[in-house]
Homo-oligomer: A and B are copies of this chain.
Amino acid sequence: MVGTRKAATVHRGLDPDRIVDSALAVADADGLGAVTIRRLAQQHDVTPMALYRHFRDKEELLDAVADRLLGEIALPEPDGRPWHEQMRDLLAAFLAALRPHPNVAQLTLDRILTSVPGLMLAERTLTLLDIAGYAPDQAARIGRQVLCALVGMVSNEPGAGQHGDPEERDDALHAERATLAALPPRRFPRVAAAAEALTTTDRQDDYYRLGLDLAVAGLRGVAPRS
């Protein structure tokens, strides 16, 4: 009642943040391909064109989704530990932000250098690589590779077939496992033996821990100063 002018002009539910919420929910449930201007509009009981008041086009909407993910990165404070320990924590923070939304992770790659939180991640990465002894050019290239590898890790984590029902997804994984296990053991003995490991969604923490080990070990192995 004693509403200020600002309160009087409050949106009834169609502001960019809530659209991004919906986009994330749709992508998590049905994949990035299901994120559609028309579908989001429908979820907000509004005409598709209403969204264009808030985003110039679909790409700008996806930018906002990526920004949301990048904004969730909880950057660890720099400290006095060896660079590779700090690097591990930094990369782990990036992973932690991406993991809840594997279907959306790939969007962040193109936006790392165009959003503030992404730039902060990049700056920290380059700083640690400098401490490791990398020349600036090398650091730029190798930093890109590592962040790229992490995003790929999340986008392609064993369960990420981006289907609808969790039941259907389990069935698909089970079928794939059976196909692999039935491979001719003369030609593909190791793939057949690894059928279980390649198709399980269990022990995801192991998967990610190993991925971090791999990335950090790579950086240490190539670094001028170890």
Contacts and interface: CB of A to CB of B under 8 A. Distances in A.
The majority secondary structure among interface residues of chain A is helix
A163 interface: no
A189 to B, nearest CB: 8
Interface string A135-163: 01111111011101101110010100000
A183 interface: yes
A54 interface: no
A26 interface: no
A222 interface: yes
Number of copies: 2
A198 B123 CA distance: 13
A25 interface: no
Best-surrounded residue of A120, A123, A145, A217 (most CB of chain B within 10 A):
A145
Interface stretch (A2-10, A16-24, A86-94, A207-215): A207-215
A113 interface: yes
A222 B217 contact: yes
A207 B141 contact: yes
15 contacts: A113-B176, A113-B198, A119-B187, A120-B188, A123-B188, A136-B190, A136-B197, A145-B153, A145-B211, A149-B152, A149-B153, A151-B152, A214-B219, A217-B220, A217-B222
Interface of A: 109, 113-114, 119-120, 122-123, 126-127, 130, 136-142, 144-146, 148-149, 151-153, 156, 158, 176, 179-180, 183, 187-191, 193-194, 196-198, 206-207, 210-211, 213-222
